[in-house]
């Protein structure tokens, strides 16, 4: 059985935010809503300073606290490990946002538009899939995967920093990278067993 997973090479990430924009376009999210974020941090002391980028998103945890937390049964886990969020069932309790330790769930408080007092034609199409008062998050581009395509962020990254594949296949590129370069999960001590790994 496949278990989809992602490996992000922090040595290759240049913080260009192309993946962030690809995600926003793929999911048609309004201003202020990000299913994927690239965090920036300055480390060290002058003159030996370094800017570090950390792309983050839903980690598609094997043991996802969000699933149990929701009183409306909004979350489900597919056999391939993808954690889905059905916003049609969401009534805005927002406990999932507290339960998720990775701050991966967005909540649409209101529907802002990219330009004042107007909804562009593309926004009119995008926003049909978003309801004020509901939660949203990354789904590893499940629809694209089901068509044999890569997630939009993976497809778009200009430095090839994001790899995607089957964590259960020991021969896959993601498994090989995790093994050879000691890939790690964010806060593995929390016991959620994320499907997103990082390489430093
Ligand atoms: Fe980093 Fe690639 Fe995202 Fe650019 S597109 S911020 S290089 S992961
Ligand atoms: Fe759920 Fe958060 Fe884990 Fe994603 S990162 S599966 S939203 S607990």
**Domain containing 153 — which CATH number?**
3.30.70.20
Whether residue 145 has pLDDT greater than 90: yes
Residue closest by Cα to atom 2 of ligand 1: 157
Residue closest by Cα to atom 4 of ligand 1: 16
Instruction: Kindly list the distances between the CA atom of residue 123 and the CA atoms of 65, 118, 150, 170, in Å, as whole numbers in the listed order.
Output: 32, 10, 24, 42
Q: How confident is the model at residue 19 (pLDDT cuts 50, 70, 90)?
A: very high
CA pair distance 41, 27, nearest whole angstrom: 26
- Nearest-CA neighbor of 71 among 87, 90, 98, 88? 90
Average pLDDT, the chain: 97
- Nearest-CA neighbor of 60 among 4, 98, 136? 4
Q: pLDDT (tens digit, 9 = 90+) per residue, 60-106?
A: 999 999 999 999 999 999 999 999 999 999 999 999 999 999 999 99
Provide the pLDDT for residue 43.
Answer: 86
> How many angstroms does the Cα of residue 104 sit away from the middle of ligand 2?
6
Contacts of 135 (CB under 8 A, 6+ apart): 74, 85, 87, 90, 92, 94, 96, 97, 105, 106, 107, 108
DSSP string, 91-136: -S--HHHHH-TT---EE--S---SBTTB--HHHHHHGGG--TT-EE
Residue 116 CB coordination number (10 Å)? 6
CA pair distance 3, 61, nearest whole angstrom: 11
Give the mean pLDDT of 137-156: 98
Question: 184 has which bridge partners?
Answer: 198
Q: Does ligand 2 have an atom closer than 6 angstroms to the CB of 60?
A: yes
Which ligand sits closest to the CA of 156? 1
> How many angstroms does the Cα of residue 29 sit away from the middle of ligand 1?
19
Which ligand sits closest to the CA of 63? 2
SS3 16: coil
Q: Does ligand 2 have an atom closer than 6 angstroms to the CB of 82?
A: no
Q: How many domains does the chain have?
A: 1
> How many angstroms does the Cα of residue 134 sit away from the middle of ligand 2?
16
Provide the pLDDT for residue 87.
Answer: 96
> What tokens were used for 173?
């590129």
CA pair distance 185, 163, nearest whole angstrom: 14
- Counting every residue written for the chain, the total comes to 200
Give the mean pLDDT of 118-144: 96
Give the mean pLDDT of 116-126: 93
Rounded to two decimals, what is the model's pTM? 0.95
- Show the domain range for 37: 4-199
Which ligand sits closest to the CA of 7? 1
């Amino acid at each position: 059985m496949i278990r989809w997973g992602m490996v992000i090479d922090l040595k290759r990430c240049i913080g260009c935010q192309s993946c962030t924009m690809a995600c926003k376009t793929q999911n048609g999210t309004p201003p202020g809503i990000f299913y994927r974020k690239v965090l920036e941090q300055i480390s060290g002391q002058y003159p030996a300073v370094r800017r570090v980028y950390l792309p983050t998103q839903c980690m598609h945890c094997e043991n996802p606290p969000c699933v149990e937390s929701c009183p409306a049964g909004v979350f489900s886990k597919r056999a391939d490990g993808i954690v889905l969020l059905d916003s049609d069932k969401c009534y805005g309790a927002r406990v999932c946002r507290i339960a998720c330790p990775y701050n991966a769930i967005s909540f649409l408080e209101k529907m802002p538009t990219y330009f004042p007092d107007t909804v562009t034609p593309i926004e009119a199409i995008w926003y049909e899939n978003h309801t004020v008062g509901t939660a949203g998050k990354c789904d590893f581009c499940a629809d694209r995967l089901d068509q044999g395509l890569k997630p939009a962020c993976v497809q778009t990254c200009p430095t090839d920093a994001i790899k995607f594949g089957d964590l259960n296949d020991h021969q896959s590129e993601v498994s090989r990278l995790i093994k050879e370069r000691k890939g790690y999960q964010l806060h593995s001590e929390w016991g959620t067993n994320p499907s997103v790994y990082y390489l430093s």
